């Protein structure tokens, strides 16, 4: 095999053979194919796309580049969830203990935030003492004892994806449906879960604003999951405004705990319950409706046990920002819109997010939405709270919110949150 021949095949619109794909992934992972050659192939894929057969083989090769976890010792059906990311998306924090309380085991391997979208691990690390790194044996033990775990993916899972993701990030090839799908699914399949539910978000605050792109990504990932023996479905959910009211690490943890206690925001509850119902159905678990389990507070003890199992103190006070600034309604009326991306960028600029993977994040920084689309306000009412440690960050955050909301004296039709469902054909 020769890297130049592989690049030329794809550059000229040809279909890579299984042998070419497996050789390229193995050689790049081993370091015998150079970054510039891999970048050339990624760019060719960006423009030429991949056939279903190519993509299935590409994903399989990425899985085979490392280990595949064996969760058979857990003793329960396993089911995981993956979200493509949004603003205020603390669903995993509620969903993992909820589905565990319903009887399944949830091995949630999560990531960190980048740009305007938050990361589940960053949120969890705002809990004093909690740590994300668990070995396979530790993870299985927590799953067996508690039923749910939120942890970082170890270096042995799909190491090819680790290298390719970093390269995509610096070569302008992130926004490729085949490359996004293979990156997500290689890690989730290697994780060893029996079933997987995907939360594919679209709208102003999503990675993919266009719902057509969201549907294509959902269909592609469901096909990959089914092709690799993982029962997979996807929900397409809206991300035009913040999910819940908080965007920021400790702020989102606090809201998640409120939700687990049965007092969460209606939109967060709706999306979480929809995903939980999908998960327990795929796992084949019979029992109470997840909506009833969540409303009753029965998932809260599972959350507490999960936090404690990873060194955290569920009773410890969460970090609080040094300063809070308020954005107020300019007039009386109904909030017409509150743009999710603008709020996410503001939270990022306040310190809740990172521009580069190696950047530190503040557990205290973020935005709380006191009024959202469809809610009435009086002139001078607080629309947004901006939480910050470093006051020098405030002007840039306020600039991000310029034009992000509108207040007028007219009604607003509620936006549906769950737009569609995609299931496998096998």
> Is the predicted pLDDT of residue 3 greater than 70, yes or no?
yes
Give, in degrees to the nearest 5, the angle at Cα 199 between 219 and 300.
150
Select which of 10, 116, 163, 187 is catalytic.
Answer: 187
Domains, the chain: 3-49 (1.20.970.10), 72-315+419-423 (3.40.1030.10), 323-408 (3.90.1170.30)
Q: How far apart are CA 149 and CA 141, in angstroms?
A: 10
Residue range 102-136, pLDDT digits in tens: 999 999 998 887 667 778 999 999 999 999 999 99
Select which of 183, 186, 204, 362 is catalytic.
Answer: 183
Residue range 204-243, pLDDT digits in tens: 988 888 889 999 999 999 999 999 999 999 999 999 999 9
Phi, psi angles (nearest 5°) of residue 81: -135, 145
Select which of 90, 123, 168, 188 is catalytic.
Answer: 168
Q: How far apart are CA 32 and CA 35, in angstroms?
A: 9
Nearest to 151 by CA among 166, 162, 138, 161: 138
How many alpha carbons lie under 13 Å from residue 346 in its C-beta half-sphere? 32
Establish whether 187 is a catalytic residue: yes
Whether residue 417 contacts residue 267, with contact meaning beta carbons closer than 8 Å, is answered with yes
Q: How far apart are CA 187 and CA 169, in angstroms?
A: 17
Establish whether 183 is a catalytic residue: yes
Phi, psi angles (nearest 5°) of residue 334: -110, 135
Whether residue 338 contacts residue 244, with contact meaning beta carbons closer than 8 Å, is answered with no
Establish whether 168 is a catalytic residue: yes
Establish whether 145 is a catalytic residue: no
Q: How far apart are CA 346 and CA 393, in angstroms?
A: 9
Q: Report the pLDDT value the prediction gives residue 314, as an integer from 0 to 100.
A: 97
* Band of pLDDT at residue 100, cut at 50, 70 and 90: very high
Nearest to 148 by CA among 61, 276, 243: 276
Residue range 259-288, pLDDT digits in tens: 999 999 999 999 999 999 999 999 999 989
> Is the predicted pLDDT of residue 185 greater than 70, yes or no?
yes
Q: Report the pLDDT value the prediction gives residue 232, as an integer from 0 to 100.
A: 97
Task: Give the whole-number percent of the chain exceeding pLDDT 90.
Answer: 88
Select which of 10, 22, 82, 364 is catalytic.
Answer: 82
Q: Report the pLDDT value the prediction gives residue 112, as an integer from 0 to 100.
A: 82
Residue range 351-387, pLDDT digits in tens: 998 877 777 899 999 999 999 999 999 999 999 999 9
Higher-scoring residue by pLDDT: 222, 174: 222
* Band of pLDDT at residue 426, cut at 50, 70 and 90: low
With 0-12 CB in 10 A as exposed, 13-18 as middle and 19+ as buried, what is 135? exposed
**Six token digits for residue 20:** 């070419």
Q: Tell me what the pLDDT averaged over the chain comes to.
A: 94
Establish whether 76 is a catalytic residue: no
Residue range 301-354, pLDDT digits in tens: 999 999 999 999 999 999 999 999 999 999 999 999 999 999 999 999 999 988
Task: Give the whole-number percent of the chain exceeding pLDDT 70.
Answer: 99
Q: How far apart are CA 291 and CA 81, in angstroms?
A: 17
């Amino acid at each position: 095999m020769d890297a130049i021949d592989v690049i030329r095949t794809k550059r000229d619109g040809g279909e890579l053979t299984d042998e070419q794909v497996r050789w390229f992934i193995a050689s790049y992972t081993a370091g015998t194919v150079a970054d510039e050659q891999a970048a050339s192939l990624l760019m060719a894929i960006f423009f030429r796309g991949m056939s279903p057969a190519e993509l299935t083989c590409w994903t399989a090769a990425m899985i085979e580049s490392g280990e595949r976890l064996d969760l058979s010792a857990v003793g329960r059906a396993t089911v995981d969830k993956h979200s493509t990311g949004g603003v205020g998306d603390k669903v995993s924090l509620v969903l993992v203990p909820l589905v565990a309380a319903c009887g399944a085991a949830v091995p949630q391997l999560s990531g960190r935030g980048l740009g305007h979208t938050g990361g589940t691990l960053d949120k969890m690390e705002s809990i004093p003492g909690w740590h994300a790194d668990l070995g396979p044996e530790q993870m299985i033990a927590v799953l067996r004892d508690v039923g749910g775990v939120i942890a970082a993916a170890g270096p042995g899972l799909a190491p090819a994806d680790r290298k390719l993701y970093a390269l995509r990030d610096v070569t302008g090839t992130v926004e490729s449906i085949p490359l996004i799908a293979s990156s997500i699914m290689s890690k989730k399949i290697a994780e060893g879960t029996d079933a997987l539910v995907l939360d594919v978000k679209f709208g102003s605050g999503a990675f993919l604003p266009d719902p057509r792109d969201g549907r294509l990504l959902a269909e592609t990932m469901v096909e990959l999951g089914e092709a690799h023996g993982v029962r997979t479905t996807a929900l397409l959910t809206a991300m035009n405004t913040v999910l819940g009211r908080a965007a920021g690490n400790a702020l989102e943890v606090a809201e998640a705990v409120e939700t687990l206690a049965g007092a969460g925001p209606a939109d967060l509850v709706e999306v979480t319950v929809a995903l939980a119902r999908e998960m327990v159905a795929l796992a084949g678990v019979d029992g109470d409706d997840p909506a009833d389990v969540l409303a009753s507070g029965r998932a809260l003890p599972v959350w507490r046990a999960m936090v404690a199992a990873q060194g955290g103190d569920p009773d410890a006070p969460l970090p609080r920002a040094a300063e809070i600034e308020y954005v107020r309604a300019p007039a009386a009326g109904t909030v017409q819109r509150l743009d999710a991306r603008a709020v996410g960028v503001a939270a990022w600029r306040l310190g809740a997010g990172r521009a580069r993977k190696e950047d530190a994040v503040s557990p205290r920084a973020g935005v709380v939405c006191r009024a959202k689309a469809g809610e009435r306000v009086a002139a001078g009412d607080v629309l947004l709270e901006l939480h910050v440690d470093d006051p020098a960050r405030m002007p840039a955050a306020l600039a991000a919110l310029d034009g992000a909301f509108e207040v007028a004296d007219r009604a607003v039709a509620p936006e549906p949150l769950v737009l569609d469902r995609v299931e496998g054909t096998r």
